[in-house]
Structure formats: C-alpha cells, structure tokens
Structure 1
Amino acid sequence: MEETAEQLQKTIAHLADLLHSGQDEDFVVSFKALHDFEMGQVYSGLPEQMRAVAWRLLDDETLADVFDNLDADDDDIGELLQEMPPQKATEILRNMYADNEADVLQNLPSRLVATYLSLMPKAEADEMRKLIDYDDQTAGSLMSTEYLAVTEDLRVVEVMRLVKHQAAEAEAISYVYVLDNQKHLVGVISLRDLLTHPDDMLVSDITNDRIISVKAGDDQQDVAQIVADYNFLSIPVTDDNDLLLGVITVDDIVDVIDEEAVEDYSGLAAVNVSQTDDTPWHSAIKRIPWLIALLLLGMSTATLISSFDGLVKKASILAVFISLITGTAGNAGTQALALAVRRLAVGTDNTAWKNFWSEVLAGLLVGTATGASVFAIVTIWKHNFELGLAVGIAMAIAIMVANLAGYLVPVLIDKLGFDPAVASGPFITTLSDLTSVLIYFNVAQLFISHFIGN
C-alpha cells in the first residue's frame, strides 16, 4: 500500500509538471493512459490551479470516467464539480453511469442538484429524479438504467448486432435481459449463450426463464447477499409488475459489502471507522459522546460496588478478582455480540429459537469451562477451596449472562427496527460489568464465612 501511495504521488507530480510547463498534449495522453481508478485519484490529487487547466483539456467522457471512480459520499466531489461552470459539470454528470450520477447528486446541496437538473434535457432530468428519490441503501438507489435488453422474438444474430450497438452505453454487458412485448422481464441470456449458439436460433429458445431479481425497495444488504450466493455479475431490479427498472452490477455490490462491514465495525467499536484520516479534534469530538454515555453507565457499576463495601471490608480478598470476572464476562459478551450481528447481517437457516438455545448452550459450555479453570487457579494460588469455588461459580454465571445479553440485545434492537450494530462492544462490555459485579458479590455472600480474614 505504501508503494502504491508513493507511486500515486509521483504520477500526480509528473502530470502537474506537464501542465505547469504547458505540455498539454503530453498531459492528455499520459492521463488517459491511466487506469480509470487512477484517473480519479490523480485528478482529485492535483492542485486546484492545475485542475482548472486539466478540465479544460479533457473531454467530457474522460472527466465522466474520473467522477465515476470518485467516492460519491466524499464531500470534496461537490467542490470539484463547482470548480467548473454549471454547464460543464452537467455534461460530465450526463456522461456518467446513471447509478453513479444519482449517488453524486444525492450527496450535493439541493441548490446544486436543482441547477444541474435544470440544465439537462427534460427526459434525462425526470429519469434522474426518479433514481435520486429512492431511499438510501435500497436496491433502487444502487441500480443503473444502462443495461442490455432485447425482445424474445429476435434471433441470435440480431441480438449480437444490438449488443454491439448498445455495449458502449451499458455499464455491464455480461448478461442480456429478455423482455416480452409489454416490457416485462421474462428471462436472461449470457454472452456465452449468444456466442455458442447458431445465429439463426431464436432468443426464446436459449433464454433462461429462471429469473432471480430484486425489487427497488429491497434493502441493499439483502441484495448483496443474493449476488454473493448466486455469484452474479449483475442482478435485475423490477417493479411489482415485473417491469425491468434497472440492474445492479457487482462493483456496486462490492461497495455495499464494504459499507456494511464499516457499519458493523463502527458499531462494535462505538466509533466511525470509515473516517481514517480525521484530525485529532474531529476524531475526539465523535468519540466523546459515546464515552461520556458509557462513563455514566459505568458509574452505576461503581455505585453497585460501593454498596458491597461492607462485604469487601470483611473479606478484602474479594477485590482482587473483580476486574478478572468483569473483564472475562465482557469479552464473552462481545464475542456473542459479534456472532449475533453477523447472523442478522447474512441470515441463517436456523430458527430464532434454535439460535437462542444454541447461544444458551454455548454460554453454558464456555461459562463452565472458564469457571472450572479459574476455580482451579484460585484454589491452588490462594490455598482456599471455598474462595476458588465462589470465584469459579461467579465467573461461570457471569459469562452465561453476558453471553446471553450479547446475543439478545442486538436481536431485540433489530426487532425494534434499528440497526443491531448500535449494540456496540463497549456498551455490552459495560453492561456485562454491571451484571458481573452483581452476580459476583451475591455469590460471595454465600461463601463469606469460609474465607473471612484471608
């Protein structure tokens, strides 16, 4: 990664030098020789005064490739567009793939969106309004309207001619979608099918009518799972009447998987892990509210410990094992949480009750094994069977409860319609601290007469 970043900086410096020295043709040739992804990185990395020259030299199609490969969620993309006259920016947007264009527009201020749409032909503007009106993180917000579609009454040779004609406009050409006369999706054929069958064969004879499609309102996470399960390169999006609305390509699915992973990691850590280049100030501002909330929750644990102050005074040895029990229970709860969030994300063949009893049994086994281990260690270390038994039993029960909480909390949050990832690791850990302390001291009270004075 370091070598790649270093090479990128060298490329940016080289192209900036070409612009600075007036070697415009060499700049255009060198820039177009870059991979599409590199174009986006290099263009955004050029100094602003150099970009002012670059966008005047590059054609709209090349600049569209640049913006197709920039992160639509990046605030800087709006600033890059505003460096150009509105008409120029509009032409670039029009040359982008429809799904990427919609993503960019969704993240721009409304005044800019209105300006750019007003400069587009009415039909294009109306189509774009439909795309940007789809809820975020749904199939509709991901789909592209550039796809290959033919009617079922054509022959293979005719379809091949259409494919060649439409390929330049389509975002992906792995599949050709087959429609009936009313534009309903009736099947799909692959390029392999077209290439391996006689030219005079009807498309209807080689069409695969086993259609796997999604609806525009389907959650993007569910769409990503379907594409992953079936190993599709793209998947069609239809309305309730099976009219083809668009397609979602695998590159967008990769972005969804990355986005969902970031959300899950962010939830488990209670911090936004997508912003890796934040300043210390912004990073601290984002972390402080969660830490303050957890601090207040943690104060309840401290208050609970203080309520057992008399017990600790009678047997001071009890204080030694507080952090051991709370820490281990917190780790167990975080493990259960991670598994529960993953199950909710990708689904499972098991029923909810089967998953519940599976976690109960897992917690019982883990708690018993850990409790037995700590019982043996404490008994040998402190030469006190009763103390070891008290710590071991408390550890076993605390882990069982923490494990169950780690499973149930995200499931309940999901049932309430919220993102289960908000049941963060720190939250579960703090909750486990509270329950572990309560369990530990109540168990200790049963054995207090056996190790007072130790």
Structure 2
Amino acid sequence: MVKLDKQTFEEYTSQLVDAITKQDMPLFRELFFELHPTDQIDVLNTLTKKQRSIFYKYVNPKEFAEIFQGLSLETQTMYIGELQQNYAIDVLNYMHDDDVADFLGALPEKTKELYLNKMDKEDAQDVIQLLKFEEQTAGAIMTTEFVSISSTETVKHVLEQLREEAPDAETIYYLYVVDSNQKLVGVVSLRDLIIAPLDEQIEEVMLSRVKHVETNTDQEEVARIFKKYDFLALPVTESEKLVGIVTVDDIIDVLEEETEEDFGEISAVRGSLDTKVSAFSAAKKRSPWIIMLMFLGLITAGVIGGFEETLEEYILLAVFIPLIMDSAGNTGTQALAVVVRNLALGNDRTSIGKMLKREFGTGIMLGLICAITLLILVPFIYPEGGLLLAGIVGVSLFFTLCFSTIVGATVPLIINKLKIDPAVASGPFITTINDIMGLLIYFSIATALLDYLPK
C-alpha cells in the first residue's frame, strides 16, 4: 500500500486522471488500489463530475463502499446523487450499519425511506434500529456488526468462528462473551485468544468484569471512558443484553464534533463555524448573541455616561478605559477556558475545587503584577497625573482582575449545575460582564479620589 506526500500525490493523481482520460481501466485499478484508503478519498475528491462518472464504472460497489463511508456527509450527499440507484443501494448494503445510519439520518424522510425499502431487509432492519436511538447517545453511534462468543466454547472453535465472521465485523480486537440470553458476561482480547491453548474454554480466558455503557449514555461520557481506559472498542448494552459496540474511530468523530460545538459556544458562533455555511445563515445564527451583547454594551456605555462629570473634570482618566476593559475581558475568558475544559474532561469535585482555588489565586497574582507594573510605568508616561493616578489605575486593575477571574471561573459552573452546556457561558458574554464591572470599579475609585488628583 502506497502512502503519498504532497508532491508524489499530485504526480500520482495526474497518472490516475490520465488513465481515466485514456479509459485504461486495468491501469487505473492497479494504481488506485495501491493507495492508502485516505489517499483514495483525496484522489476521488480531486476528480471532476465527468471523471467521477468513469470512476464509478471502474470501482465496484463493495470497493466504493469502503471509500464512501470515509467521506464527509456533505460529500456523500453529493456523490450519492451521481450514482445509478442499483449501484447506490449496493454501496449502502456493503457499508457498516452505523455509517449507513449516520448517512440516512441526515437525509429527508422520503429519500431515507426510499433507500431503506430498496436495501437488503436484514441490513435495513439493523439500520432502522440504530436510527431509533436519540442523537448523541451510545446507541446512535454504535455498530451492530460485532463478534460475540459463548463462554462454553473452546479457543479453537472461536478462532474458526473468527475466520468466518471477522470479514463482516467492524473490529475483532475484542470479543464479547454472552450467555444463552445474550447478556454480556465477559470479554476476551484477540491477543489473549491467540496465545491461549486451543483446547481451553473461553470462560477460563475471559475477563468477567467488563466495562460497558447503556444505549442512552451520552456520547461525551462514552468518549471519557475511551480516554480513561484507552479502549479500542466498548460494548453497549440494553437491559444487560449486548446490542452493539462503539469503536475508537466513532469516538474520534465524537471528539471532533464536541470540540467544534464547544468552540462555537465559547465564541458565540455556534452553528456557523462551517465555511460552507452561507453569509445569511451565519448571520442568522450569530445575530441573537450579537443583539444580546449589543444591549449589554449599552449598559457599558451607560456606566461611562454615569461618570461623565468625573471624566469632564479629569479627562486623563479616559485614556485607561480600554486598558481596564481589555484586561478584564482577557482574564475572564482565560478562566472560562480552564473551567470549561475541566468540566468537559469530567473531573471530579475535588479537582474542580483545586482548579477554582488556583484560578482565584492566579487572579490575585495577575492583579498584583499588573498593579505594580502600572505604578512604575504610569508616572513616567503621564507625569501630569502623578503617583496618585498610577495608584488609581493600578488598584482598579487589581480588583478588576480578581473579579474577572472569579466570574470566568464560577459562571460556567453555575450553568453546568442548571444542566446546561457550560460552553454556553461564551467568551463574549463574560467579557461584556467583566467590562461593566471593571469600569464600575475604576470610576468608583477615581471618583472617590478625584479631589486629590493634581489639576
């Protein structure tokens, strides 16, 4: 199998396109199936629609199924429309059930029913069962194509069983042991199976304490279990019966999806991260946040307006408004990121308590460092303000950073307690709140000491 770097890939793709142009199917197949599956997908995505029409003739449905299930949902939807119906149905029949469920689940109801009615009945029934599970749960991301064995069988018999069933299973790194009622009772790794004596029974080789999840377990919790135990697969049960497995490739997709979702929440752009989303759709998704932040911004403007007399009497105070606001927002967002990450990792209360204590301490230390720095710099940069102006700005920034760290660390915890995704406590939201409080602190201290400032 060939793996390509960028330059070699371009040259190799050129040879494949040339083979398509000359309609040299043997050469195309020889070159194409030497490639790593990921490179095969990259080559396919570089072809024009006309070239793809020839490609579909050179690659049979079983071969294309392996490529198709590695494509993005948007690309799958585009390519499936280019296929003849019988070819498309065969592709779906050869795909893993969970990948078919993911694909069909995103299609309009009528189109989904059309494909399901045309598919092999057994495969279609498995897909229908997967589509019934709630999204973002273990049941929705599991596959039903796995190998289960009996505890009373011998190692030799199981190895023979594997030769027959392994080609249709998504993974065979772990073999799950079930009783006569299909209840999960143990697990055997492929490694342990290979080194065990052929006449030994599975019950003597298996581990009886099996980590598993229920079909309704949230996919984030499943991902945490994979991370904690370094699993390649995890069994899924329903009423103690083994109904499927979640594999590590599914978890990688989950992690990508959850990371994108959290990033969108923190930056207040949820649903508009995809560059393929139109400007109108992106604006529609972002506008509620922007409007809410705009109203909060009016409060910020109101705070500044409320201290108009202070500013008129000592205009130099206006110079430090951006410094106070930016520092407050940045510190709060940093604390927010730390807390959301710890919550996403599922850390226990002890870890979160230590993290909160550390963040509060960090806010105090940052405040002290910034305050001392300003006490040194401000008199040199603005000598007309004197040491008192430096003290007002420095002390204001100290209290602002302390407050901002507390807000950034506690708001997501409160939201999490309310059973809402803590990432909803977005950066822009906390930044605006900290801006308001920072300005209140700054102008309150400045107003109190206004009479002592040099005129």
TM-score (norm 1): 0.92
In structure 2, what is the Cα distance between the partners aligned to 1:217 and 1:29? 45
User: CA separation of 1:8/1:267 partners in 2, compared to 1, >3 Å: closer, same or farther?
Assistant: farther
Match of 1:409 in 2: 411
Give 2:243's aligned residue.
245
How far does the alpha carbon of each residue in 1:40-96 deviate from its partner, in whole angstroms, 9 at most, with x for none? 232233211222222222112111011121123xx2311211212323212111111
1:258 corresponds to which letter in structure 2?
E
- Displacement of 1:290: 4.2
Cα pair 2:177 2:185 within 8 Å, conserved: yes
Whether contact under 8 Å (2:19, 2:25) holds in the other structure is yes
Following superposition, the deviation at residue 200 of structure 1 comes to 0.6
Are the counterparts in 2 of residues 12 and 46 from structure 1 also a CA contact under 8 Å? no
Shift of 1:278: 6.1
Task: Summarize the alignment of residues 98-109 of structure 1 with structure 2, pairs less than 5 Å apart.
Answer: 98-109=97-108
Residue pair 1:387, 1:447 contacting (<8 A) in 2 also: no
Work out the CA distance in 1 between the residues paired with 2:11 and 2:440. 60
Matched residue, 1:55: 56
Q: Secondary structure at the match of 2:167?
A: coil
What residue identity is the alignment partner of 2:90? E
Give distance in 2, aligned partners of 1:191 and 1:357: 46
Any idea what the Cα deviations from partners look like across 1:364-419, whole Å, max 9, x if unmatched?
Answer: 33333333332343355445232222212211111122111112222233233332
Partner of 2:89: 90
Unaligned ranges ≥5, structure 1: none
In structure 2, the residue matched to 1:207 is 206
Tell me how many residue pairs correspond in the alignment.
448
Residue 378 of structure 2 corresponds to which residue in structure 1? Answer: 378
Does residue 263 (structure 1) correspond to residue 264 (structure 2)? The answer is no
CA distance, structure 2, for counterparts of residue 227 and residue 255 of structure 1: 13
Query: In the TM superposition, what whole-angstrom CA distance separates every residue of 1:218-274 from its partner, at most 9, and x where no partner exists?
Result: 1111111111111111111111x2111111111111222222222232233333585
Matched with 2:366 is 366
Q: 1:279 to 1:401 in 2, by over 3 A?
A: same
> 1:395 aligned to 2:377?
no
Please give the secondary structure, in 2, of the residue aligned with 1:390: helix
Q: What's 2:320 paired with?
A: 321
Alpha-carbon contact 1:61-1:95 (below 8 Å) kept: yes
> For 1:69 and 1:50, how far apart are their aligned partners in 2?
20
Which residue identity does 2:45 align to in structure 1? S
CA 1:421–1:180 in structure 2 vs 1: closer, same or farther (change >3 Å)? same
* 1:271-294 per-position Cα deviation (integer Å, ceiling 9, x unaligned): 358525667777667656644543
Contact 2:146–2:244 (8 Å) recurs in 1? yes
Q: Percent sequence identity over matched residues?
A: 34
Q: What are structure 2's unaligned runs of at least 5 residues?
A: none
- In structure 1, how many angstroms separate the alpha carbons of the residues matched to 2:401 and 2:447? 19
Amino acid at match of 1:193: D
Counterpart residue identity of residue 30, structure 1? L
Equivalent-residue separation in structure 2 for 1:8 and 1:104 (angstroms)? 28
AA of the residue aligned to 1:68 = Q
Q: 1:329: Cα distance to partner?
A: 1.1
RMSD, aligned α-carbons = 2.3
**Secondary structure in structure 2 of the residue aligned to 1:417:** coil
Residues 113-262 of structure 1 correspond to what in structure 2 (within 5 A)?
113-239=112-238, 241-262=239-260
The 1:165–1:218 alpha-carbon spacing in structure 2 relative to 1, beyond 3 Å, is same
Cα distance in 2 for partners of 1:197, 1:16 equals 50
Higher mean C-alpha displacement, 42-51 vs 390-399 = 42-51
* Rounded Cα–Cα distance in structure 2 between residues aligned with 1:420 and 1:262: 14
Q: What TM-score does the superposition give when structure 2 sets the normalisation length?
A: 0.91
Post-superposition shift, 1:5? 5.4
1:8–1:412 distance in 2 versus 1, CA, 3 Å: farther
**Bigger Cα displacement from structure 2, 317-326 vs 381-390:** 381-390
Structure 1 residues 358 and 193: CA distance shift in structure 2, 3 A:
same
Of the structure 1 ranges 165-174 and 41-50, higher mean CA displacement relative to structure 2 is found in 41-50
Deviation at residue 421 of structure 1 after TM alignment: 1.8
- What letter is aligned with 1:184? K
